[in-house]
Chains A and B, each alone.
Chain A
Amino acid sequence: MFSLATLLYLSALLFSIGTYGVLARRNILVVLMSLELMLNAVNIAIVSFGRAHALTAFSGEHGGQIFTLMVLAVAAAEAAIGLSLLLVIWRRWKSIDLRQLCQLNG
């Protein structure tokens, strides 16, 4: 039950749920959260791979974990930018509906 494959399925499941969130939701905040979900799902996969390879990995035993750490940093910075963009949107549109942002087309 607690095998690598299970972890990968879990990761894929969470990733898909995140994808669903991004695709289905119209609230920008929730979309941003769904994006975080996706990143976390991948993190699970990386860490479990890292654990599986811990003793044989080419890149040192903590490769996966360090990767994940970097993803955390990226996620943080991304969240900062995303949320500030959200604020800009909120100021202009007084709305955080994704569908409102459709002036540019063609």
Chain B
Amino acid sequence: MELTISRAEILAILPAGILFITGLVQLFSDLGKNGDDTRSEKTHLAMIGGAGLLLALAALFVQGTAASTGSLYAGAMTDDLFGRMGAGVVMMTALFCTLMSGGYLASSANNRAEFYALICFCAGAMALLCQATNLISVFVAIETLSLAVYVLAGYFKENRSASEGAFKYFVLGAFSSGFLLLGMAFIYGTTGGSISFSDIAASNGQGDSLFSIGTLLILIGFSFKIGAVPFHSWVPDVYQASPTLAVGWMAVAVKASSFFALCRFLLFTGGGQELAQILAAISVVSMLLGNLAALNQRSLKRMMAYSGIAHTGYLLIPLVIVVSGEGASAGASIPFYLFAYAATTLAAFGVITAISVGTDRDDVRDLDGLARNRPFLAIGLTIALISLAGIPLTAGFIAKLMILQGAVSSGFLTLALIAIITTLISVYYYLRPVVAMWFREPRSSFDLVPAPWGVIFTVAVCAIATVFIGIFPGWLVDLSRLSVETILG
């Protein structure tokens, strides 16, 4: 037995590898700085991160839209379009978060390289998670990213509520890891010792009750990560208390990578009607609870948390269809939705970051009259909210269109109807910030500091992307379709 690593394997690991190295470089370049330094913007860290992420993105798309390269590292990962898209979402998010970090962290006197490095490590793990094709790599990647996110959530350790949120996240996360692991154990056992997804799919264990339990437990593990009801409890608390940037990161990257992995996993294991019904139930409850609980929130971040739960519910609809075997092509809406959701959410969190810079406030009332003071930010947030509400001309609409189209054409009319009704409810709370920004007069007691350049850049790019995808979504739709088709080879 010889250790051989093929060119494809190197290429496949390259993006993640670049990210890990970038993280290390950032750590080293910040070594030995004294405490006062944490108030400066440290643009060089962002630059290193940006360069690394751009390199990683370049490396990611070296192979373009080429189909799967087959299993690499003895089935531990693959380098297919689906995975690349997932990794792409994650890395772009990481790029924007890195760019925004400097100004935000400096304002809270906590600008240390750890934040950047953790985001890079986390992004690397997520990229691998999107491409992982065996249980062990999925587990380790998930744990890596989770640990990084726990730390990011509690990054402001001087802040009581941030610590509280981080700890809640940690305890619940570890608890859910237990179930995830148990599920993996069951699957491993009932499929004749298979670890890689393709082996699992090829084995004859599917009909076994323990196998179903295993799939369900894995689903529960992922449900926790994506914040589906009833495993959502952490979401609002953590979102509210954590650093805004970390929340943006969680809201987009964690959810996106988990969804990519879950989708890949479910496409291989299937699950049958039983699991589909359970997923549908989770989806319905998530949509309802997320949207209803968001109605009365004052904290923007908390509102976004509940909205995130609701969006998880919407995103589960295509999974229901996939699992029920009505058509794998419905899965195509997941990459698209996540792209759209990433652009939209980043724009929103960019604005929330901008207003919480220096003050750490995120009340809806703090947006009063924003359209007068900062019309640019107001437009950005408005576009984001409109997109989240699924109103045309935005990416969110096309995403919702794809999901509902899938649901309708597979006969899941009830799900589609509930999605529609809850969307309607969501309009109310998405409009509240719009009302505050545009219809109310600025409150004199609240002065905004100028938004850091990274934030401005992020909001601009993401808002434009949201609208652009909303108007010309064709390419992304095609890409998503293609990517889902490549998973199964």
User: Contact mask B228-268 → A, CB, 8 Å, 1/0?
Assistant: 00000000110011000000000000000000000000000
Could you say which residues of chain A place their CB within 8 Å of the CB of B185?
A: 11, 42, 45-46, 49
Given contacts A22-B175, A59-B193, whether A104 and B182 have CB atoms under 8 Å apart is no
Check B375 for interface membership: any CB of A closer than 8 A. Answer: no
Among residues of B, the one whose C-beta sits closest to the C-beta of A18 is B178
Q: How far is the CB of B170 from chain A (nearest CB, A)?
A: 6
Q: Please, how many angstroms separate the alpha-carbon atoms of A54 and B188 in the complex?
A: 12
Could you say which residues of chain A place their CB within 8 Å of the CB of B192?
A: 53, 56-58
Q: How far is the CB of B299 from chain A (nearest CB, A)?
A: 8
**Within residues 1 to 60 of chain A, which ones have a CB less than 8 A from any CB in chain B?**
8, 11, 15, 18-19, 22, 28, 31-32, 35, 38-39, 41-42, 45-46, 49-50, 52-54, 56-59
Among residues of A, the one whose C-beta sits closest to the C-beta of B153 is A85
Binding site for B on A (CB under 8 A): 8, 11, 15, 18-19, 22, 28, 31-32, 35, 38-39, 41-42, 45-46, 49-50, 52-54, 56-59, 63-64, 66-67, 70-71, 73-74, 77-78, 81-82, 85-86, 88-89, 92-93, 98, 101-106
- Select which of B150, B196, B236, B240 is within 8 A of A85 by beta carbon: B150
Given contacts A31-B171, A46-B188, A106-B236, whether A57 and B164 have CB atoms under 8 Å apart is no
Contact A59 B154 (CB under 8 A): no
- Select which of B140, B157, B193 is within 8 A of A88 by beta carbon: B157
Given contacts A53-B193, A56-B192, whether A78 and B302 have CB atoms under 8 Å apart is no
Among residues of B, the one whose C-beta sits closest to the C-beta of A79 is B174
Given contacts A46-B185, A103-B161, whether A82 and B170 have CB atoms under 8 Å apart is yes
Q: How far is the CB of A36 from chain B (nearest CB, A)?
A: 9
Among residues of B, the one whose C-beta sits closest to the C-beta of A38 is B178
Check B143 for interface membership: any CB of A closer than 8 A. Answer: yes
Q: How far is the CB of B17 from chain A (nearest CB, A)?
A: 19
- The 7 nearest A-B residue pairs measured at CB: A57-B193, A53-B193, A49-B189, A38-B178, A104-B237, A59-B195, A58-B199
Check B392 for interface membership: any CB of A closer than 8 A. Answer: no
Among residues of B, the one whose C-beta sits closest to the C-beta of A69 is B136
Check B75 for interface membership: any CB of A closer than 8 A. Answer: yes
Q: Please, how many angstroms separate the alpha-carbon atoms of A50 and B192 in the complex?
A: 9
Q: How far is the CB of B167 from chain A (nearest CB, A)?
A: 5
* Known pairs A32-B174, A41-B182, A53-B189 / 8 extra A-B pairs, C-beta < 8 Å: A22-B175, A52-B193, A59-B75, A59-B196, A63-B193, A89-B164, A92-B160, A106-B297
User: Contact mask B149-173 → A, CB, 8 Å, 1/0?
Assistant: 0110010010011011111101100
Could you say which residues of chain A place their CB within 8 Å of the CB of B147?
A: 77-78, 81
Contact B302 A106 (CB under 8 A): yes
Could you say which residues of chain B place their CB within 8 Å of the CB of A98?
A: 171
Check B61 for interface membership: any CB of A closer than 8 A. Answer: no
Given contacts A18-B178, A22-B175, A67-B135, whether A104 and B143 have CB atoms under 8 Å apart is no
Q: Please, how many angstroms separate the alpha-carbon atoms of A98 and B172 in the complex?
A: 12
- Select which of B157, B181, B194 is within 8 A of A42 by beta carbon: B181
Contact A63 B195 (CB under 8 A): yes
Contact A67 B161 (CB under 8 A): no
**Interface residues of chain A: helix, strand, loop or mixed (majority):** helix
Contact B175 A35 (CB under 8 A): yes
Q: How far is the CB of B235 from chain A (nearest CB, A)?
A: 11
- Select which of B143, B166, B188, B241 is within 8 A of A63 by beta carbon: B188
Interface residues on B, range: 35 or more
Among residues of B, the one whose C-beta sits closest to the C-beta of A78 is B174
Contact B168 A56 (CB under 8 A): no
Could you say which residues of chain A place their CB within 8 Å of the CB of B160?
A: 92-93, 103
Check B349 for interface membership: any CB of A closer than 8 A. Answer: no
Contact B178 A58 (CB under 8 A): no
Q: Please, how many angstroms separate the alpha-carbon atoms of A52 and B170 in the complex?
A: 34
- Select which of B194, B237, B241, B302 is within 8 A of A59 by beta carbon: B194
Q: Please, how many angstroms separate the alpha-carbon atoms of A63 and B139 in the complex?
A: 14
Check B186 for interface membership: any CB of A closer than 8 A. Answer: yes
Could you say which residues of chain A place their CB within 8 Å of the CB of B150?
A: 81, 85
Contact A74 B143 (CB under 8 A): yes
Could you say which residues of chain A place their CB within 8 Å of the CB of B134?
A: 59
Given contacts A45-B189, A88-B157, whether A58 and B171 have CB atoms under 8 Å apart is no
Check B203 for interface membership: any CB of A closer than 8 A. Answer: yes
Q: Please, how many angstroms separate the alpha-carbon atoms of A24 and B163 in the complex?
A: 22
- Select which of A22, A41, A54, A101 is within 8 A of B167 by beta carbon: A101
Contact B163 A64 (CB under 8 A): no
Contact B193 A56 (CB under 8 A): yes
Given contacts A92-B163, A104-B165, whether A78 and B143 have CB atoms under 8 Å apart is yes
Greatest chain B CB density within 10 A among A49, A67, A104, A105 is at: A104
Q: Please, how many angstroms separate the alpha-carbon atoms of A18 and B143 in the complex?
A: 19
Q: Please, how many angstroms separate the alpha-carbon atoms of A94 and B136 in the complex?
A: 38
Greatest chain A CB density within 10 A among B75, B165, B174, B189 is at: B174
What are 11 A-B residue pairs whose CB atoms fall within 8 Å in the complex? A41-B182, A45-B182, A50-B193, A58-B195, A58-B196, A59-B194, A64-B193, A67-B135, A82-B170, A92-B160, A101-B164
Among residues of B, the one whose C-beta sits closest to the C-beta of A101 is B164
Greatest chain A CB density within 10 A among B167, B181, B240, B241 is at: B181
Could you say which residues of chain B place their CB within 8 Å of the CB of A8?
A: 189
